[in-house]
């Protein structure tokens, strides 16, 4: 089956053809581990994971690399300001190394909770300093670099292809106007490859280099590590749309200058998550993590369902109502599949329609609609539904394998509470009934009251 992907590089939805038949090298631009991942960041990784799952569903063998940025990403994304890791460390009176370890652990936990398949390699920037220095040396040998008082820079005017991803010419780039920009920079779009440690200051993270003690520029790690683990060119590079104009443009420039080839053939970018139609910001208190969602009874898997409900290239407005609707939809699906018979054979007709949708630039909203139509079709046996929905879930990643044809098993303790609650309700003791509902909730069950009595579901 053909797969079509919207390539930012060609600005068209092209047929995807892997470099090596049957295999795909995928690089998902990873987190800067200085703070907890928010719902916007998570969209980016769920998108990368969905892409991987779609490729795998097409019988392609995917090698996925996701970098961990633990040094060099400066506040403001430019070449000025402090390192985000160092900033976070100073605030918490810890070292940048501690901050990196803490947020890497939280990140790995977060992506597991939203059922993202673990990338095959998760290389850290700080573990690849030698590779990054070697890459600067290759650029230097070809005349693409120059030194200023605070570091080694890439001269974008030397690369005629510069700007092909964003379509911006080097001189059109704004680096926060000119204010505060290193006056020794030859062009506005030039960027740091190596930054020197400030005079008289010892950074938590710094290394010796042929140019002086310091640390690598943010974009360098991705060129160096993607080459090490996937080779160049590799197949697909992903990230959020904010990376098009600077981070990915600069990655392409580095690899092109050093090796004379494109870093990757396909560049895919997810649009942003908005909160109540606006920007997320710490000052507005709307930078939500998975824990914030869970505090409002939105599970990580329901959040994943919410993300799948929008196409990755459209902005997605996060509202609590929208998240609750996703949780309800997932609950309904889980309730339904639990009562099904054991999976038998897959309905190949509907699977073909489904694959055509996801192969059309990951049209997950259409794929969800196809699934709902199918599961609501009373003419189809639940054994076939079970097998088919499990196959679809290889793409959705909603962990349905844990619930298909598995009725809720109620523990003895929960059974007892449920009985007590029934008596409380007969006695119209609503206070006690609510209390027991909370206790059941604590045990991992949600109670629903209906005309036919109480119904328990495991919280997912």
Q: Which residues bind ligand AMP (CB under 6 A)?
A: 29, 31-32, 40-41, 43-44, 239-240, 242-243, 270, 272-273, 280
For Zn ion, the closer CB: 222 or 424? 222
Give the CB-nearest residue to ligand AMP: 240
Contact, 398 vs 301, CB < 8 A? yes
Q: Which does 40 bind (CB under 5 to 8 A by kind): Zn ion, ligand AMP, none?
A: ligand AMP
222 binds, among ligand AMP, Zn ion, none (CB under 5 to 8 A by kind): Zn ion
- Closer by beta carbon to ligand AMP, 364 or else 382: 364
375 in Cβ contact with 30 (< 8 Å): no
Q: How far apart are CA 390 and CA 158, in angstroms?
A: 52
- Residue closest to Zn ion when measured from CB atoms: 222
Q: CA-to-CA distance for 149 and 195, rounded, in angstroms?
A: 9
- How far apart are alpha carbons 367 and 177 in whole angstroms? 44
Q: Is 68 in the site for Zn ion (CB under 5 A)?
A: no
In the complex, the smallest distance separating the C-beta of residue 280 from ligand AMP, rounded to whole angstroms, is 5
Least gap, CB of 276 to ligand AMP (angstroms): 13
222 binds Zn ion (CB under 5 A): yes
Q: 272 contacts which partner out of Zn ion, ligand AMP, none, CB within 5 to 8 A by kind?
A: ligand AMP
- On whether the CB atoms of residues 362 and 311 are closer than 8 A, the answer is yes
Q: What is the DSSP letter of 152?
A: E
Angle in degrees, CA 62, 63, 65, rounded to 5? 135
Q: Are 421 and 447 in contact (CB under 8 A)?
A: yes
Smallest gap from residue 279 Cβ to ligand AMP (A):
8
The DSSP code sequence of 368-422 is: HHHHHHHHT-TTS-HHHHHHHHHHHHHHH---GGGTTT-PPPPPHHHHHHHHHHH
Q: Which does 242 bind (CB under 5 to 8 A by kind): ligand AMP, Zn ion, none?
A: ligand AMP
List, in sequence order, every residue forming a beta bridge with 153; answer none if it has no partner. Answer: 146, 192
The least distance separating Zn ion from the CB of residue 54, rounded to whole angstroms, comes to 21
Within positions 5 to 64, which residues make up the interface with Zn ion, using CB under 5 A?
29
**Please, which residue, 214 or 239, has the CB nearer to ligand AMP?**
239
Q: Which is nearer to ligand AMP, 55 or 280 (CB)?
A: 280
Q: How many angstroms separate the CA atoms of 304 and 298, rounded?
A: 10
- When the beta carbons of 68 and 398 are compared against ligand AMP, the nearer one is 68
- The partner in contact with residue 31, picked from Zn ion, ligand AMP, none with C-beta cut-offs of 5 to 8 angstroms by kind, is ligand AMP
Q: How far from the centroid of its chain's Cα atoms is residue 278's Cα?
A: 20
Which listed range, 139-147, 216-224, 252-260, 331-339, lies at the site for Zn ion (CB under 5 A)? 216-224
Contact residues toward Zn ion (CB under 5 A) are: 29, 222
């Amino acid at each position: 089956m053909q797969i079509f992907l919207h390539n930012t590089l060609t600005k068209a939805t092209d047929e995807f053809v892997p470099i090596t038949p049957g295999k795909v090298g995928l690089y998902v631009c990873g987190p800067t581990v200085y703070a907890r991942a928010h719902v916007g960041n998570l969209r980016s990784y769920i998108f990368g994971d969905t892409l991987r799952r779609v490729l795998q569903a097409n019988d392609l063998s995917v090698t996925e690399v996701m970098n961990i940025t633990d040094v060099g990403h400066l506040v403001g994304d430019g070449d000025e300001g402090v390192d985000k890791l160092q900033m976070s460390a100073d605030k918490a009176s810890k070292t940048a190394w501690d901050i990196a370890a803490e947020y890497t652990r939280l990140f790995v936990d977060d992506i597991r909770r939203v059922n993202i398949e673990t990338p095959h390699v998760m290389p850290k920037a700080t573990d690849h300093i030698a590779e990054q220095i070697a890459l600067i040396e290759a650029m230097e040998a070809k005349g693409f670099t120059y030194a200023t008082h605070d570091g080694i820079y890439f001269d974008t005017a030397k690369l005629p292809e510069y700007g092909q991803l964003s379509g911006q010419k080097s001189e059109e780039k704004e680096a926060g106007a000119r204010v505060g920009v290193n006056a020794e920079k030859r062009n506005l779009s030039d960027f740091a490859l190596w930054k020197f440690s400030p005079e008289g200051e010892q950074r938590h993270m710094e290394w010796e280099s042929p140019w002086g003690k310091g640390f690598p520029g943010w974009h360098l790690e991705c060129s160096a590590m993607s080459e090490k683990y996937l080779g160049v060119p590799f197949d697909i590079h992903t990230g959020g749309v904010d990376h098009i104009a600077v981070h990915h443009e600069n990655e392409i420039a580095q690899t092109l200058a050093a090796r004379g080839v494109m870093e990757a053939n396909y560049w895919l970018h997810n649009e942003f998550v908005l909160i109540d139609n606006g920007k997320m910001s710490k000052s507005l208190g709307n930078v939500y993590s998975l824990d914030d969602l869970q505090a409002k009874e939105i599970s990580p898997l329901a959040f994943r369902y919410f993300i799948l409900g929008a196409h990755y290239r459209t902005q997605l407005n996060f509202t609590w109502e929208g998240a609750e609707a996703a949780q309800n939809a997932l609950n309904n699906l889980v309730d339904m599949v639990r009562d099904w018979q054991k999976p038998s054979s897959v309905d190949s007709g509907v699977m073909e329609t489904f694959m055509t949708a996801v192969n059309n630039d990951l049209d997950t909203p259409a794929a969800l609609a196809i699934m709902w139509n199918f599961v609501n079709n009373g003419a189809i046996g639940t054994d076939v539904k079970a097998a088919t929905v499990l196959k679809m879930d290889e793409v959705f990643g909603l962990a349905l394998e844990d619930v298909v044809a598995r009725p809720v098993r109620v523990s003895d303790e929960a059974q007892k509470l449920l009985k007590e609650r029934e008596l409380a309700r007969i006695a119209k003791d609503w206070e006690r009934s609510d209390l027991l509902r909370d206790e059941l909730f604590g045990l991992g069950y949600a109670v629903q009251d209906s005309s036919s009595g109480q119904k328990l579901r495991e919280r997912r």
